[in-house]
Structure 1
Amino acid sequence: MHPYGIIQAMETTRKVRLDLAYDGTDFHGWAAQPGLRTVQGEIEKALALILQRPIALTVAGRTDAGVHASGQVACFDLTEDEWARLKPRHGVDDPGVALTRRLNGLLQRTSQGSGSDVVIYQTQLVPASFDARFSALGRHYSYRLADQLTCQHPTQRHNTTWLTKNAVPLDLAKMNEAATHCLGEHDFLSFCKPREGASTIRTLYQFEFTRLADGVVVADLHADAFCHSQVRSLVGAAVFVGSGKRPVGYLAELIAKPSRDNAAPLAPPEGLTLTKVDYPEGETALAEQAKAARRLRTCEECD
């Protein structure tokens, strides 16, 4: 075994992909922060116990405090020997299955309350060119809104934003009309918290609102990537339109004149969930996408 935290340069490394979900309610976001409980921090601590050295995760989308994920993807490197030494047990001969079980066991012990608020669904080896962040072709988010008392279900309060001050149901026709002006490639500075030296240009493929049978309003968004707070700002601006606080052309104005001086309002975090991350097929395509994405942006993807 290597000294803690050291991998010998001559050893062959393997890339491991994690598919996971979490309830963000009791986490201070994805990114590890000293003294705070975060999704990255908990998973890296569990991996460090299993592999007996520090592990650094790369994630598809860094989520803020209170934001959830049902289709998050992360990756990390380990050596060929470490993968082989995961010692499958209880009739399991797949190291990935064994690692998944051990991770979930450790994560459940540190979870708040009964059950676990972070679950690893699958652990698998992937091509060395795979990068959870830069190899991604697109991210999908959903945002849930309860705009009427009849759809404010207590069992869903952790993943649905309640608009308790809105006495009139949202006008989804106006919201969807306003949302169409955001589709395509734009500078989303009015909807992002920019990072120094990072681009706020993104391509938005989908932004639409529907009302479910139980009355809850769901916004579905899909883009090549989202910058910091972009999804929550897009939803917040659309809610202003749907509640009559702003005209239908409000989002179009923000797109036409990108600025932080008149930034879009920010919707609360609890209604937001990262639902899916798209990746190309094949090792070559993964490498090409990662190379292209690194050239385009240098900021961390998060919302």
Structure 2
Amino acid sequence: MLAKLPGPIRIPLALLLLAANILLHVLPLFALSLVKVVVPVHGIRLACSRMLVAIAESWIGVNNFLFGLFTRIRWQVEGLAGLRRDGNYLVLCNHQSWVDIPVLQKVFNRRVPFMRFFLKQQLIWVPLLGPAWWALDFPFMKRYSRETLLRHPELQGRDREATRQACAKFRHMPVSVMNFVEGTRFTPAKHDAQSSPYRHLLRPKAGGLAFVLDAMGDALHATLDVTIVYPEGRGTMMDLIAGRVHDIRVHVRELPIDATLVGSYDDDAAFRGRVKLWVNALWREKDARVAQMLMAADAAPVGE
């Protein structure tokens, strides 16, 4: 088992194979994307989209295999029964580390439709990965600070329109739309700065999920409430690759789409309040669940 190799050998070898996997999948992905852009025939473009997803799922599958070879992680995952590959899901999750993304990909790859994340606009410039995310129809969002919006009020609502445009594409294909509701990764400093009422979570932001529900509400058939816990503490991507992450616990809960949460978030104050109440209640339950998962991990026998 490669996880037993000495670190100076194991880590460079793991990085080399992960990089090779990127090239192996990104090159055909780019070639197929070019066909999709150049050929104006709807049927061909639809077929290209399906093939692009198959390439992406293969890419994730190989990554999962490599992490399994080079690491020794104790996985505890609950709530995967009944998930559908032909469904449309809104996936809501707490956010602690970049490790969350490979965790979500391992848990859901080929169990639900391919997940699209809302990404910061700057990430499109990441070599190889940025163009690959663009080719796979990941929505890129340009966030504006409060000061910028005060100086340029005409920029107000741009994120909402970008969300609508992205979701318009998703209405014609099975999709899982991923939303980190806190909007940023958890750190103690951010937690204190927000005066968060939750022990293990940042304050949730309701606007993003409200925009997705407004744009896709009738096309979505369920929400997946996902909670990720790292009992040893939040690690980095390098910690994951280097085998320093040993215990990952994931809880998945499927919830029906509440029709009362579909509406105009910007224009209806009563509706906005209703969505915020729903999200805050969800986050209180999630905070309690994180505490329970951590207690269970502490009580587990060593080596379980």
The alignment's TM-score, normalised by the length of structure 2, stands at: 0.24
TM-score, normalised on structure 1? 0.24
Structure with the higher fraction of residues in strand conformation: 1
Which has the larger share of helix?
2
